[in-house]
Structure 1
Amino acid sequence: MSCQRDKADSKTSDHKNDSVSLYVSAVNSKTEYVEKDGRKIAYRKTGQGPAMILCNRFRGIMDDWDPLFIDSLSQYHTVYLFDYSGVGLSTLPNANDSLMEIKDVADLSESLQLNRFILVGWSHGGKVAQTFATHHPAKVSHLILIGTVPLGKNAFPSEKIFFDYALKEVNDLNDEVVLFFEPADSGSVAAAKASRGRIDQRTDKDIYVKPDVFKKYFATNAAFVADEQGRTKLATLPIPILSLSGDHDIVFPIENWYALTRVYPNLQIIMLPRAGHGPQQQYPLLSARYVGDFIKNTN
């Protein structure tokens, strides 16, 4: 499969005629809730087929997934988006209870009676997904990791520019170009605008994440960085792992995965060109095809 920019990825109109029904269902998917231990977990469901749960990035909400990427996944899978407890539309009675993301996945899947599913994680969500897999390996059929790094300590750090933009009170489109795309490439900038246009079509909006909940992420991430045991355990589990990254990820450089080649026997690495921290936002169709082919051809 070619890594050249997919025409349908750069021209949204090319996709509308052949999958408009799926596109509309992703944009208009109903927000529902499961209740567990005094909190509500907000989620949305699209598509049909084997279950797939998507874990989100730092300060990400359900609205932040590109609908075209979700539509494409939903052609062959039942896709579940959700907000972490205390983020977006999900509640958290005790604001100091920071380490909840793993329990969120466990409680959501149990409430929805999903005994085994594909687990997808973007950025921070990639660490959530890896940690969940080490705790509940029998529940995870495939692990799809997008724009993220392995658990534990990694050799290649985030670039300072990430923190300059990611910690602003509000991120606009220009910030998103820097954070998730490749600002040096005109095609990537155009893809950022197209992705934002698709996201903005949703009228039933989630709640934007403000800095008062950042400490929740920082506490969880510190636990992930210290989790050398989880990093080691993943190498022993029979779970197929796909790492999908841009060639210039300012947050979690793809180079961190190279240290695990021949260490993780089930690991495959894909690098998308002229792309940043959100390769599935820039190449939604191509990314979904890579994910779909990986799932179909590994077990």
Structure 2
Amino acid sequence: MAMLTAPNQTVQADSGTTYTYRRFGRAGGTPVVFLQCFRGNIDIWDPALVDDIAAEREVILFDASGVGGSTGQVPTTVRDFARDAIAFIDALALTTVDLFGFSLGGFVAQSVVLQRPHLVRRLILAGTGPQGGRGFHAWSEETRGHAYREAQDAEDLLYLFFAPTEESRAKGMEYVGRIFTRQEDRDAPTTLAVRDAQAEAIVDWGIPSAALLDRLAAIQQPTLVANGNHDILVPTANSYLLAGHLPNAELIIYPNANHGFLFQYPHEFAGEVNRFLSAA
């Protein structure tokens, strides 16, 4: 089973939220729970990336409360998004997971580890940054125009996720084609209420504060930090901050790439993820 054929499933948590999720891949080891980006639902994930990872381990993609096909109220802080993720993981009766956090999902992944440190074995932080980091508290007017547009299209994704080069944009169009390959049983689209709640969480997390970087010392798990060399949403400097302050981190920076480097280099990054998750 692969991402394009895995059925949408549901599970109800003690909180009352009914979460929509897909679970597939090679079972038997520690499952990888994916935490997605601003305005993303399950179908934002690149099948080329996820299926390569699923060939070696079980993957779980899900919508937070109020996002996509999940019920409930959308959280408005990263801390509450993390509590929400923990509620979903608990509903599946999982006691140990690996976390793959992209963008906002990377903020959430850090908060999950800080709130429930013994739940997480290994951590992947892609295109993301620490609380109190640099340059993402207030996006530029042009970036906001693309990120907040009521009805986003391929051009918005290309601007936000890919570098303004012919090669990167071509890879971006391939990504757009892959994420729209699935026609049946797609996830529900995200709403403007989701956009606004998540934007509130991002702005709060992004208030600059060097003192908050000290929190990263509490994350002892092996961590893979990765980004493109020109991330305009969570500037690449934040990946260096993460790698420098996390006690057990490695860093990979991809060339000619923006926030969506993991969709520009899906097979290459999946290979790094599998290598990292399989390490002793």
TM-score in same-fold range (> 0.5): yes
Asked whether the equivalents of residues 129 and 242 of structure 2 are also in contact (C-alpha less than 8 Å), the reply is: no
Change (3 A) 1:104 1:164: same
- The match for 2:102 is 122
Q: Which amino acid aligns with 1:195?
A: Y
- The match for 1:149 is 129
Asked whether the equivalents of residues 50 and 76 of structure 1 are also in contact (C-alpha less than 8 Å), the reply is: no
Deviations 1:7-61 (A, max 9, x none): xxxxxxxxxxxxxxx5xx2101111111122221110012024200000100000
- Aligned pairs for 1:97-246 (under 5 A) are 98-99=76-77, 100-154=80-134, 158-183=139-164, 185-203=165-183, 204-225=185-206, 231-246=213-228
* Residue 274 of structure 2 corresponds to residue 292 of structure 1: yes
C-alpha separation in 2, matches of 1:57 and 1:263? 23
- The match for 1:5 is none
Q: What's the Cα RMSD here?
A: 2.1
* Residue 18 of structure 2 corresponds to residue 40 of structure 1: yes
What runs of 5+ residues in structure 1 fail to find an aligned partner?
1-21
C-alpha separation in 1, matches of 2:122 and 2:211? 20
What runs of 5+ residues in structure 2 fail to find an aligned partner?
none
TM-aligned CA deviation for residue 136 of structure 1: 0.8
Change (3 A) 1:231 1:113: farther
Change (3 A) 1:142 1:273: same
C-alpha separation in 1, matches of 2:136 and 2:41? 27
TM-aligned CA deviation for residue 214 of structure 1: 2.3
Q: Which stretch of the first structure deviates more once superposed, 156-165 or 108-117?
A: 156-165
Of all paired residues, the percent bearing the same amino acid is 32
Q: Which amino acid aligns with 1:281?
A: F
TM-aligned CA deviation for residue 230 of structure 1: 6.3
What SS does the corresponding residue of 2:245 show, helix, strand or coil? coil
C-alpha separation in 2, matches of 1:156 and 1:225? 6
Change (3 A) 1:42 1:50: same
Asked whether the equivalents of residues 156 and 255 of structure 1 are also in contact (C-alpha less than 8 Å), the reply is: no
Asked whether the equivalents of residues 245 and 276 of structure 1 are also in contact (C-alpha less than 8 Å), the reply is: yes
Deviations 1:149-185 (A, max 9, x none): 11223257644432120100111111111011112x2
C-alpha separation in 2, matches of 1:141 and 1:206? 28
* Residue 4 of structure 2 corresponds to residue 27 of structure 1: yes
- The match for 1:57 is 37
TM-aligned CA deviation for residue 220 of structure 1: 2.3
User: Which residue of the other structure, out of 206, 212, 236, is the alignment partner of 1:254?
Assistant: 236
- The match for 1:12 is none
C-alpha separation in 2, matches of 1:205 and 1:153? 35
Change (3 A) 1:155 1:198: closer
What SS does the corresponding residue of 1:197 show, helix, strand or coil? helix
Change (3 A) 1:275 1:123: same
TM-aligned CA deviation for residue 222 of structure 1: 4.1
